[in-house]
Amino acid sequence: MREHRIRHSWAEARQTAFDAAEPVPETALPLGPDLCGRRLAEPVVALQDIPHFDSAAMDGWAVNGSAPWIFVSPGERLYPGQASDILTGGLVPPGAKAVLRSESGRVSADAEGLPVLQLSSEAKPGEPRAGQHIRPSGKEAVAGEQLLAAGTILNPVRLALAALSGADSLSVAGRARVRLLFTGDEVVDSGIPGPGRVRDVFAPQLSAAVLALGAEVVGEARLPDRLPETVAALSATDAEVFISTGGTGRSAADQVRRAIDELGADLMIDGVAMRPGGPVFLARLPGGRFLVGLPGNPLAAFMALATVAQPLLAGLAGLPRPAAIEVLSGAAHEPDPGRSRLLPYRDFYGLASPVAKTESAMLHGLAQAEGVLVVPPHGVKLGEAVPAFSFPWN
């Protein structure tokens, strides 16, 4: 392993992680609910007129001319004085001038006992008007017309429209495939842990967080604190990114850094000058795959996720670099030379006020927060503008 040991600043780390990523190529996927949230790489156009045939908007009769009408078989050409049965959505036969809805007509028998259609007492004056209750073909779109532009984020309505277009698959922007690796022999995944054990806070949510950050999880595994298993897990080739939790330190139990050495990976970010989350790293593994090492402390892990994983995943998805916002500080913060402090805050009357319970191993504060202040090493005065970020779920 090359020993860079350059601790990036918070802003440099975000830029470095973003710049490291080449967008994953676009891909054509079958039309289905899995595409919800994906970004169109190519426009969706109508493959034929929508609707593609003249259809009835009401149950009743297709008619030509004015009452009374005699009946012909459904689908046959209609001449003046003729009608045929039709249902909502049904194909309007040639020669039909209007659809008379069932409430406006009444079928009786003529002198020879043959059925004849008359206007009922419910018919409005002038009914049926020419074209009434006929949905003409091409009314919504003509063949070749763009229905959804490239770049549109797919949602249930847009997926429905894509189906209406006649498409069976859609071309969507690529996104990173991610494997999650959870370390820590002390971690239990259910129930109330005993002393020395901790309840896992990552497996219940990290794949949802990754999805919200524009990537998809293709596998997750719990790793024992042992080198061979860690190296083997990092050898999978079906993901662009691994995200590990815990084991970023250099203790005897921490195997992730040793695995990076063993695999000959390039450590691109080896710690960030921030607290919490400082031990986060970004490595490039052989074959161009990435490993983001999140610290095991829960709040530290979320801060590391926002600082390194979010820009990396955005870059791989071809999205812009996640923007930092500016908020006005609701408190003064003393200098802390050499590192930024990431402080979860809530807005109180236009001022960003740090919340309580935001130590590295805590989560309560972050769960109440609207965003996170990035207090620079030289500190902040009350009311001063300060960079901040929020998560997509805030």
Ligand X SMILES: Nc1nc2c(c(=O)[nH]1)N[C@H]1C(S)=C(S)[C@@H](COP(=O)(O)OP(=O)(O)OC[C@H]3O[C@@H](n4cnc5c(N)ncnc54)[C@H](O)[C@@H]3O)O[C@H]1N2
Binding partner at 385 among ligand MOO, ligand X, none, C-beta below 5 to 8 Å by kind: none
Q: Please, which of residues 52-111 interact with ligand MOO by CB under 6 A?
A: none
Tell which residue, 354, 361, 355, 258, has the closest CA to residue 303: 361
Q: Which of 278, 298, 315, 371 touches ligand MOO (CB under 6 A)?
A: 278
In whole angstroms, the minimum distance from the beta carbon of 290 to ligand X comes to: 17
Length of the chain: 394
Stretch that binds ligand MOO, among 15-23, 27-35, 173-181, 276-284 (CB under 6 A): 276-284
Binding partner at 198 among ligand X, ligand MOO, none, C-beta below 5 to 8 Å by kind: ligand X
Token reading at 190 = 């259910």
Contact string (CB under 6 A) for ligand X, positions 171-210, x = contact: -----------xxx-xx----------x-xxx--------
Token reading at 324 = 């930092």
Say which amino acid occupies 31: L
Quick check: 121 and 131 in contact, CB under 8 A? no
Q: Which of 90, 296, 330, 376 touches ligand X (CB under 6 A)?
A: 296
Total residues interacting with ligand MOO, rule: CB under 6 A: 9
In the block, tokens 């967080």 appear at 209
Quick check: 367 and 298 in contact, CB under 8 A? no
User: Within a 10 A sphere around the Cβ of 47, how many other Cβ atoms?
Assistant: 15
Is residue 279 involved in binding ligand X (CB under 6 A)? yes
| Residue number, 174 or 277, with CB nearest to ligand X | 277
In whole angstroms, the minimum distance from the beta carbon of 259 to ligand X comes to: 13
In whole angstroms, the minimum distance from the beta carbon of 5 to ligand X comes to: 13
Q: Which of 105, 279, 318, 322 touches ligand MOO (CB under 6 A)?
A: 279
User: Within a 10 A sphere around the Cβ of 224, how many other Cβ atoms?
Assistant: 12
Pairing mode, strands 325-328 and 385-389: antiparallel
In whole angstroms, the minimum distance from the beta carbon of 275 to ligand X comes to: 7
In whole angstroms, the minimum distance from the beta carbon of 188 to ligand X comes to: 9
- Helix extents (H) in 264-363: 298-304, 310-316
Quick check: 331 and 190 in contact, CB under 8 A? no
Q: Which residue sits closest to ligand MOO, CB atoms considered?
A: 276
Stretch that binds ligand X, among 3-11, 146-154, 275-283, 316-324 (CB under 6 A): 275-283
Is residue 230 involved in binding ligand MOO (CB under 6 A)? no
Q: Please, which of residues 293-352 interact with ligand MOO by CB under 6 A?
A: 295, 297, 300
Concatenating the DSSP letter of every residue in 5-60 gives ---B-HHHHHHHHHHHPPPPPPEEEESSGGGTTPBBSS-EE-SS-BSSS-EESSSE
Is residue 246 involved in binding ligand X (CB under 6 A)? yes
Tell which residue, 351, 332, 278, has the closest CA to residue 5: 278
In whole angstroms, the minimum distance from the beta carbon of 283 to ligand X comes to: 14
Quick check: 332 and 381 in contact, CB under 8 A? yes
In a 13 Å sphere around the CA of 202, the CA atoms on its Cβ side amount to 28
Name the site residues for ligand MOO (rule: CB under 6 A): 275-279, 295, 297, 300, 360
Name the site residues for ligand X (rule: CB under 6 A): 182-184, 186-187, 198, 200-202, 245-249, 254, 276, 278-279, 295-298, 300, 360-361
